[in-house]
Structure 1
Amino acid sequence: MAMARSTVLIIFALFCCYASTTASSQASSSDDGFLKCLSASIPSQLVFTRSSPSFTPLLKSSIRNPKFFTPATVRPLYIVTPTNASHVQAAVACGRRSGVRIRVRSGGHDYEGLSYRAVRNETFAVLDLSSLRAVRVDARASTAWVDSGATLGELYYAVGKASGLLGFPAGLCPTVGVGGHFSGGGFGMLLRKYGMAIDNVIDAVLVDARGRLLSKNTMGSDVFWAIRGGGGESFGVVLSWQVRLVPVPPTVTVFNVPLTASQGAVDVVTRWQQVAPALPDDLMIRVVVQQQTANFQSLFLGTCDALLPVMSSRFPELRFNRSYCREMTWIQSVPYIYLGSGSTVEDLLNRTTSASVFASGYKATSDYVRRAIPRDAWATIFAKLSQPNAGLMILDPYGAAIGAVPESATPYPHRAGVLYNIQYMNFWSMAAGDGAVQTKWIRDFYAFMAPYVSSSPREAYFNYRDLDLGENVIVGNVSSYQAGMVWGQKYFKDNYKRLAMAKGEIDPEDYFRNEQSIPPLAKNK
């Protein structure tokens, strides 16, 4: 990439889901009842109160956005670290009995930190699934069961160890938790060949608000539909997922081609908008635009010899040549794309966040583009990205497999007609301030982009969660369906209503909720 490797690590370490924490209300007698209830079913060493020396280190352990780890953050009263399904069932049952809500954290990448913090004062516990992280691969059947507390890196590693000819289409960042990633959709470098992660989920195990342990067949078709892209935390605790693994060739090719504005980056990005979504589905070319540089990053499911004629005939503007090719196995490409040269497959097992990432707060949001943005607008975009305290854009092309799935097949509706997704991000040093300038830049840039992106609704990606799009309003102790439409239709379009009805079926009292959880709606409404 054109940018420094440390910057790349920050970008992709935060390309995914989210997390955070802070002080809330004092423990009450009902909270004490929660602990007493838990003690009958969960070993005491798996439950942490604020007075425990391990509470803060555990809470901090998978916070990916340190702007939420401040004295002002509303933190949980308890952290529960289950090691089996019965512990999860007990935590839910005790929480309901004692009036303590549950928030579920798998990897901690939630961009708004809603898996471990609250915006308003609330009595809640965090169910940290990091000990539920088994991956069981059946290479002969081309399937795997993966627990929600596993990371994408751990899933990829297990698949790569089981077979050199199988892969899985999910995100780039290996420290993202499977639970949150799958719950919102999940896409990465295989999206044009095999679609979203959720398009390849074939079963799941869910603990609902009544503490029942349910599978695909017993949770009901609407709920199984809903958890695959509609935000799993709205419907219960998804413990594990069965996924369909996909074939990959023995050799793949990756490349990075950086172009500056002086080298014609504005023209090439303008052209990329129409080329990238129409390329063969074996070829994915995404772009990271920062300051005056556009970095074209690719995965091709084949050899360099096979890639060269495709690039010369379909995208000559990039001036691609053999020197850019890096051939390797698919599993080797995963850390290479994220961490760069010198990384190893074993690096996928590292669940920790580097100190440089933890030192940087960030703000992010998203858009979908259905009509190519004119060149003149791109020239202005490049100028805005060169401003002091400016952020960056990540452009992921669609088309092929992801566009072939009907909008209603899963809650994730951004399918046919989408040219590409945009992620906007901006970073700041926590030592230097609160990020107000960088956050304002993101909001101003988002407003500037309005004429060039989707509208009615202006679409957004749930896994790039942004509370600027709206928050739930509680009416009669449940989240308001009408108020939720403000943000819900941006993420889910017409699927929002079906999601709300699935919520009404499985959790009508809205026990599992946060600031952007699906509100319940009765089916007769």
Structure 2
Amino acid sequence: MAKLRPIVLPLLLTILLYISNGEAAASGAANETFLQCLSKHSDPSHPIATAIYTPRNASYSSVLQSYIRNLRFNKSTTPKPLLILTALHESHVQAAIICAQKHGLQMKIRSGGHDYEGISYVSDVPFFLLDMFNFRSVQVDLESETAWVEAGATLGEVYYRIAEKSKNHGFPAGVCPTVGVGGHFSGAGYGNMMRKYGLSVDNVIDAKLIDVRGRLLDRQSMGEDLFWAITGGGGASFGVVLAYKINLVRVPEIVTVFRVQRTLEQNATDIVHQWEQVADKLDDGLFIRITLDVVNSTLQTGEKTVRATFRALFLGKSGQLLSIMNVNLPKLGLLQADCAEMSWVESVMYWTDFPSGTPTSALLSRVPQSLNYLKRKSDYVQKPIPREGLEGIWKKMMELQVPTLIFNPYGGKMADIPATAKPFPHRAGNLWKIQYSTNWNEDGREAANRNIDLTRQLYDYMTPFVSKNPREAFLNYRDLDLGINHNGKASYYEGLVYGIKYFKGNFGRLVKIKTKVDPGNFFRNEQSIPTYLYTRK
């Protein structure tokens, strides 16, 4: 992204900001006080004016849109921030927290912009945006096998910097390289090495956070409760995370990948049914994801069928992989020709669908390969779905045509770690996680409503096959259908509705920690962790 020309302070002083309870500032003096407050509480050697953009600045729209990853929230009617603070120094973050409280402004915190519901950069009340994309350092220390990763770095940058120094190290996190570290890690983070090494947060050992009082804290000074909360409970409910320290994991110099597709006419039902029985019990170094979508049948013109795409990462060579597959999933009929051996970082490129031969430096790009309007939902499966159940799902999918289902297997390390070790509770007992994925390119409310409704219909149809009491959901697959918090007097009870689905029994501990560290509920959004008592004025 080209360097943006910052707005100067005199121009900033003319903007109309909103203060306490969303009321407009009565005069320019009140606005000036807010900006002077920002300047007062930031480091003079790092002028905060160079980091602020307002609607009057020509670069405002490009700064805002650069990290909007869901086109549903990039429309002229989408509520916009009163200003964007692209923090360049920790004192800018401290100033934002202190002054936002003083002037009653809501603050939204964005790292990579991949929040599926846009709540890191959209609000129905007047707000400003604290954008962390300038905090993007990745410092790898091979001697200790650790790295300090700032919240605005992308996963692609993390992977590239690790591989730049070692062929035998990696990190278990997501397969989309443009996702920001801040949201991904604080919401737990998972990827195709989770059966071997667990979640991203299972490998986080320290953090730097600025709390509601503007203090810069690390794990020791924040205490184990708060550190626990920001490693899976959503960092934006508790403070502003500047960086995480991670443990690197060992990977072999050669790994194996494959992508095999089968339609219903090619025995997909039998293969998926066999996958259900074994996917969570395979060698921990083998992760096989299934993507299910509706395509045109090759047998009858105009007819639809369901296609199952089996995509795998194996932390080893193809010969060993074939032996495992022939014993455990023979119905897939995996062949040597289906397998490709490569380095771990090259496997990241493969999973991201970069064209063959693309240099690994492409992981440093912050521009997504595509942008769409989208809706996501999630579920957890705890018992294999009967064959007749699968056939009913295929029929429903062909009726709706739009939503794609993605099955991500658990087991391995995921089953070994206690549900209370991190706020993320979905461990032993879950066979796989489902992502409902709907993308569309047509603009307009009608198209959005139609596609969202189709996604909800498939989600409703799946009710008999997924977890119950509660019907579990994954925080990083943000879904406002599960409940919205208006952050008023009913905040705790509204938060309980979605909180139990995301966190199960860990929700109570999260609320207790939130009440202690942010009793006034300053760090809030539509699905944040609430306090026990309504104390915000």
Q: Which residue of 2 aligns with 1:323?
A: 337
* 1:374 aligns to 2:377 (yes or no): no
Q: Which residue of 1 aligns with 2:509?
A: 498
Q: Which residue of 2 aligns with 1:409?
A: 421
Is contact 1:389-1:438 (8 Å) kept?
A: no
Q: Which residue of 2 aligns with 1:304?
A: 318
User: Shift in Å at residue 267 of structure 1?
Assistant: 1.5
* 1:94 aligns to 2:99 (yes or no): yes
Is contact 1:46-1:82 (8 Å) kept?
A: yes
Question: 1:323 aligns to what SS in structure 2?
Answer: helix
Separation (CA, whole Å) in 2 of partners of 1:248 and 1:353:
26
Q: Which residue of 1 aligns with 2:297?
A: none
Decide whether aligned partners of structure 1 residues 500 and 294 sit closer, same or farther in structure 2, where only a CA change above 3 A counts: same
User: Shift in Å at residue 103 of structure 1?
Assistant: 1.0
Separation (CA, whole Å) in 2 of partners of 1:87 and 1:468:
34
**Greater mean deviation of Cα atoms: 424-433 or 437-446:** 424-433
Separation (CA, whole Å) in 2 of partners of 1:101 and 1:227:
20
Q: Which residue of 2 aligns with 1:12?
A: none
Q: Which residue of 1 aligns with 2:164?
A: 161
Q: Which residue of 2 aligns with 1:11?
A: none
**Residue identity in the other structure for 2:52:** V
* 1:267 aligns to 2:282 (yes or no): no
**Residue identity in the other structure for 1:104:** I
Is contact 1:34-1:100 (8 Å) kept?
A: no
**Residue identity in the other structure for 1:352:** V
Is contact 2:397-2:458 (8 Å) kept?
A: no
Separation (CA, whole Å) in 1 of partners of 2:351 and 2:34:
45
Superposition map of 1:186-225 within 5 A: 186-225=189-228
* 1:117 aligns to 2:122 (yes or no): yes
User: Shift in Å at residue 430 of structure 1?
Assistant: 3.2
Q: Which residue of 2 aligns with 1:396?
A: 408
User: Shift in Å at residue 71 of structure 1?
Assistant: 2.9
User: Shift in Å at residue 389 of structure 1?
Assistant: 4.6
**Greater mean deviation of Cα atoms: 151-160 or 27-36:** 27-36
**Residue identity in the other structure for 1:456:** N
User: Shift in Å at residue 475 of structure 1?
Assistant: 3.0
* 1:142 aligns to 2:154 (yes or no): no
Question: 2:352 aligns to what SS in structure 1?
Answer: helix
Decide whether aligned partners of structure 1 residues 369 and 506 sit closer, same or farther in structure 2, where only a CA change above 3 A counts: same
Q: Which residue of 1 aligns with 2:399?
A: 387
Is contact 1:67-1:434 (8 Å) kept?
A: no
Separation (CA, whole Å) in 1 of partners of 2:401 and 2:81:
33
* 1:28 aligns to 2:25 (yes or no): yes
- Please provide the CA RMSD for this pair: 1.6
Unaligned runs of 5+ in 1: 1-22
User: Shift in Å at residue 43 of structure 1?
Assistant: 2.8
**Residue identity in the other structure for 2:353:** L
Q: Which residue of 1 aligns with 2:520?
A: 509
Question: 1:386 aligns to what SS in structure 2?
Answer: helix
Q: Which residue of 2 aligns with 1:293?
A: 307
Separation (CA, whole Å) in 2 of partners of 1:414 and 1:431:
36
Query: For each residue in 1:163-219, what CA deviation from the matched residue of structure 2 results, as whole angstroms up to 9, or x when unmatched?
Result: 110000000000000000001111111010000000000000000111010110111
Superposition map of 1:321-470 within 5 A: 321-340=335-354, 341-354=356-369, 357-358=370-371, 360-387=372-399, 389-431=401-443, 434-470=447-483
**Greater mean deviation of Cα atoms: 30-39 or 241-250:** 30-39
Q: Which residue of 1 aligns with 2:300?
A: none
Q: Which residue of 1 aligns with 2:235?
A: 232
Separation (CA, whole Å) in 2 of partners of 1:488 and 1:175:
27
Question: 2:399 aligns to what SS in structure 1?
Answer: coil
**Greater mean deviation of Cα atoms: 406-415 or 372-381:** 372-381
Q: Which residue of 2 aligns with 1:18?
A: none
Is contact 2:487-2:524 (8 Å) kept?
A: no
Q: Which residue of 1 aligns with 2:259?
A: 256
Question: 2:496 aligns to what SS in structure 1?
Answer: helix
Separation (CA, whole Å) in 1 of partners of 2:203 and 2:31:
40
Separation (CA, whole Å) in 2 of partners of 1:27 and 1:297:
53
Query: For each residue in 1:197-247, what CA deviation from the matched residue of structure 2 results, as whole angstroms up to 9, or x when unmatched?
Result: 000000000001110101101112111000000010000000000000000
Q: Which residue of 2 aligns with 1:37?
A: 37
* 1:481 aligns to 2:492 (yes or no): yes
**Greater mean deviation of Cα atoms: 219-228 or 374-383:** 374-383
Separation (CA, whole Å) in 1 of partners of 2:225 and 2:387:
44
Q: Which residue of 1 aligns with 2:6?
A: none
**Residue identity in the other structure for 1:37:** C
Question: 1:149 aligns to what SS in structure 2?
Answer: coil
Question: 1:277 aligns to what SS in structure 2?
Answer: coil
Question: 1:364 aligns to what SS in structure 2?
Answer: strand
Greater C-alpha radius of gyration? 2
Separation (CA, whole Å) in 1 of partners of 2:528 and 2:309:
35
Instruction: Calculate percent identity across the aligned residue pairs.
Output: 46
User: Shift in Å at residue 486 of structure 1?
Assistant: 0.6
User: Shift in Å at residue 150 of structure 1?
Assistant: 0.1
Separation (CA, whole Å) in 1 of partners of 2:173 and 2:25:
42
Decide whether aligned partners of structure 1 residues 72 and 101 sit closer, same or farther in structure 2, where only a CA change above 3 A counts: same
TM-score (norm: length of structure 2): 0.89
User: Shift in Å at residue 87 of structure 1?
Assistant: 1.2
Query: For each residue in 1:19-38, what CA deviation from the matched residue of structure 2 results, as whole angstroms up to 9, or x when unmatched?
Result: xxxx9978525554322322
Separation (CA, whole Å) in 2 of partners of 1:458 and 1:225:
24
Query: For each residue in 1:3-27, what CA deviation from the matched residue of structure 2 results, as whole angstroms up to 9, or x when unmatched?
Result: xxxxxxxxxxxxxxxxxxxx99785
* 1:84 aligns to 2:98 (yes or no): no
**Count of matched residue pairs:** 493
Is contact 1:166-1:245 (8 Å) kept?
A: yes
User: Shift in Å at residue 377 of structure 1?
Assistant: 1.5
Decide whether aligned partners of structure 1 residues 389 and 45 sit closer, same or farther in structure 2, where only a CA change above 3 A counts: farther
**Greater mean deviation of Cα atoms: 448-457 or 436-445:** 436-445
User: Shift in Å at residue 380 of structure 1?
Assistant: 1.8
Separation (CA, whole Å) in 1 of partners of 2:368 and 2:352:
13
Is contact 1:116-1:126 (8 Å) kept?
A: yes
Q: Which residue of 2 aligns with 1:14?
A: none
Is contact 2:400-2:454 (8 Å) kept?
A: no
User: Shift in Å at residue 343 of structure 1?
Assistant: 2.9
User: Shift in Å at residue 521 of structure 1?
Assistant: 2.8
Separation (CA, whole Å) in 1 of partners of 2:208 and 2:360:
29
User: Shift in Å at residue 388 of structure 1?
Assistant: 5.1
Question: 1:53 aligns to what SS in structure 2?
Answer: coil
**Residue identity in the other structure for 2:359:** T
Q: Which residue of 2 aligns with 1:20?
A: none
Looking at both structures, which has the greater relative contact order when contacts are Cα pairs under 8 Å and sequence separation is at least 6?
1
Is contact 1:254-1:326 (8 Å) kept?
A: yes
Question: 2:521 aligns to what SS in structure 1?
Answer: coil
User: Shift in Å at residue 92 of structure 1?
Assistant: 0.9
Question: 2:177 aligns to what SS in structure 1?
Answer: coil
